[in-house]
């Protein structure tokens, strides 16, 4: 062991946090953090570090749409094997973060040749914590995999051991509004980032013609109306911490809710499957957006775009092994339909890399992973008249 350090302390005003996100979303998360008022924002790999006080942590958990979880580092030390890990971890004052009778769980990420069995490293940390708590309090804390009171995060990189508390508890993509999922629902954090990438300025009407359970439209609506995405959740991990300040949390929650504004544009979801629409309806009910997002049953290939002077179409069309039609021709039919019927619109389509093209040239594209499917989030400008003529004008 080279160095050891316990970072947790109720007297520290400026706390350092690490927010995790998807690969490629770091810039979006940094921007969100800066807009929220974070200090010392630094972009890392699939994460962003920042500092702020306890109230800021509450605000960040409630408000960030592109963070998967927020960690508060509590200990950092070096260890070269599991015995050293155990020895260092038994010296940490675990009773400062784990109250009497509280359960815990350890999530882990290990990138180290010193620890070839990552699960074993996590097990050693658990033993150290349990042994030390038993020695100090005479009681053995319980490990609880499903919804523990305190979620501990272990990250080992080479011989550096980082232990954090997970302020989110359940990951932040679990917004609390999605009670029903369709066949291939988008992750909420992924959807929130896709909307930001589309550059939507909140002035164009939105249409999702393959809406499924409605994730893209609901996330767009939350952003537009400034509804904190975490507001529908049962709670957050930090609410089980010994220093949790309920009055402060209520104050922050209320001030975030005071910012909510009425919608300035219309939102329309369409799907050909009644069952998907039933699920979307349930989710809209949970998100209290039934009055805001209109839903219609319809087939994209046989329905006209809503009237008006063009809007923004966002779509996550079906794709995968269960498809009954040829995926290539399905996607090129989407391109044809957009070209013929949606002039004046902008469209963003989540396009599996394997498909490659819908027969239109995208004006912008971003690589994203939808689960394990490599995709391009591709933006199209569907000009009225030819592009040449428009440029000439």
Per CB under 6 A, residues contacting ligand SAM are 182, 184-186, 209-210, 212-213, 215-216, 270-273, 276, 299-301, 316-318
In the bound state with ligand SAM, the residue whose beta carbon lies nearer, of 237 and 305, is: 305
Residue closest to ligand SAM, measured at CB: 212
Find all residues with CB under 8 Å of 81, minimum gap 6, and list them. 114, 115
Q: In angstroms, what is the minimal distance from the CB of 280 to ligand SAM?
A: 7
Concatenating the DSSP letter of every residue in 29-98 gives HHHHHHHHT-EEEEEETTEEEEEE-HHHHHHHHHH-SS-SEEEEEEEEEE-SSHHHHHHHHHTS-GGGTS
Taking the C-alpha atoms of residue 261 and residue 387, their distance in angstroms, rounded to an integer, is 37
In the bound state with ligand SAM, the residue whose beta carbon lies nearer, of 305 and 317, is: 317
In the bound state with ligand SAM, the residue whose beta carbon lies nearer, of 1 and 373, is: 373
Q: In angstroms, what is the minimal distance from the CB of 147 to ligand SAM?
A: 24
Q: In angstroms, what is the minimal distance from the CB of 297 to ligand SAM?
A: 9
Q: Judging by DSSP bridges, how do beta strands 373-381 and 39-44 pair with one another?
A: unpaired
Q: In angstroms, what is the minimal distance from the CB of 300 to ligand SAM?
A: 4
Taking the C-alpha atoms of residue 163 and residue 86, their distance in angstroms, rounded to an integer, is 13
In the bound state with ligand SAM, the residue whose beta carbon lies nearer, of 52 and 209, is: 209
Taking the C-alpha atoms of residue 350 and residue 319, their distance in angstroms, rounded to an integer, is 10
In the bound state with ligand SAM, the residue whose beta carbon lies nearer, of 52 and 185, is: 185
In the bound state with ligand SAM, the residue whose beta carbon lies nearer, of 297 and 367, is: 297
In the bound state with ligand SAM, the residue whose beta carbon lies nearer, of 52 and 212, is: 212
Q: What are the backbone angles phi and psi of residue 71, rounded to the nearest 5°?
A: -110, 145
Q: In angstroms, what is the minimal distance from the CB of 160 to ligand SAM?
A: 38
Q: In angstroms, what is the minimal distance from the CB of 178 to ligand SAM?
A: 9
Q: In angstroms, what is the minimal distance from the CB of 319 to ligand SAM?
A: 7
Distance from the first to the final alpha carbon of the chain: 70
In the bound state with ligand SAM, the residue whose beta carbon lies nearer, of 299 and 354, is: 299
Query: What's the angle, vertex CA 238, arms to CA 237 and CA 243, rounded to 5?
Result: 145
Q: In angstroms, what is the minimal distance from the CB of 269 to ligand SAM?
A: 9
Concatenating the DSSP letter of every residue in 110-137 gives EE-TT-S-HHHHHHHHHHHHHHHHHHHH
Is residue 339 left, alpha or beta, with left meaning phi > 0 and alpha meaning psi from -120 to 50? alpha
Q: Which two three-digit tokens encode residue 12?
A: 């520290």
Find all residues with CB under 8 Å of 300, minimum gap 6, and list them. 209, 210, 270, 272, 334, 337
């Amino acid at each position: 062991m080279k160095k050891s350090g316990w970072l947790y302390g109720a007297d520290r005003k400026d706390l350092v946090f690490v927010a995790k996100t998807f690969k490629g979303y770091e810039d979006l998360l940094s921007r969100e953090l800066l807009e929220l008022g974070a200090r010392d924002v630094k972009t890392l790999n699939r994460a962003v570090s920042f500092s702020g006080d306890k109230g800021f942590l509450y605000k960040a958990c409630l408000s960030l749409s592109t963070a998967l979880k927020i960690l508060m580092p509590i200990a950092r030390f070096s260890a070269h094997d599991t015995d050293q890990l155990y020895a260092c971890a038994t010296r940490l004052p675990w009773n400062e973060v784990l109250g009497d009778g509280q359960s815990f769980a350890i999530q882990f990420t290990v990138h180290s040749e010193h620890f070839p069995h990552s699960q074993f490293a996590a097990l050693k940390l658990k033993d150290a914590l349990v042994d030390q708590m038993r020695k100090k309090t005479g009681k053995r804390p319980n490990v609880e995999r499903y919804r523990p009171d305190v979620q501990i995060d272990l990250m080992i990189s080479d011989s550096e051991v980082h232990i954090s508390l997970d302020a989110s508890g359940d990951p932040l993509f679990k917004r609390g509004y999605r009670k029903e999922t369709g066949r291939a629902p988008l992750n909420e954090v992924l959807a929130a980032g896709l909307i930001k990438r589309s550059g939507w300025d909140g002035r164009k009407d939105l249409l999702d013609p393959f809406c499924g359970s409605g994730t893209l439209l609901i996330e767009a609506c939350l952003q537009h109306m400034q509804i904190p995405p975490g507001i529908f959740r049962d709670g957050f991990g930090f609410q089980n911490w010994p220093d949790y300040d309920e009055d402060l949390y209520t104050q922050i929650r209320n001030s975030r809710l005071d910012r909510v504004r009425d919608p300035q544009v219309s939102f329309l979801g369409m799907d050909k499957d009644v069952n998907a629409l039933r699920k979307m309806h349930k989710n809209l009910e949970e998100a209290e957006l039934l009055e805001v997002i209109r839903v219609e049953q319809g087939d994209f290939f046989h329905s006209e775009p809503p009237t008006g002077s063009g809007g923004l179409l966002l779509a996550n069309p079906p794709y995968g092994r269960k498809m009954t039609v040829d995926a290539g021709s399905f996607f090129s039919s989407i391109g044809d339909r957009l070209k013929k019927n949606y002039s004046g619109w902008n469209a963003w389509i989540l396009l599996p890399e394997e498909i490659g093209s819908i027969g239109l040239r995208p004006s912008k594209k971003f690589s994203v992973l939808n689960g394990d499917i490599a995709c391009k989030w591709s933006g199209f400008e569907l000009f009225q008249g030819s592009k040449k003529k428009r440029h000439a004008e």
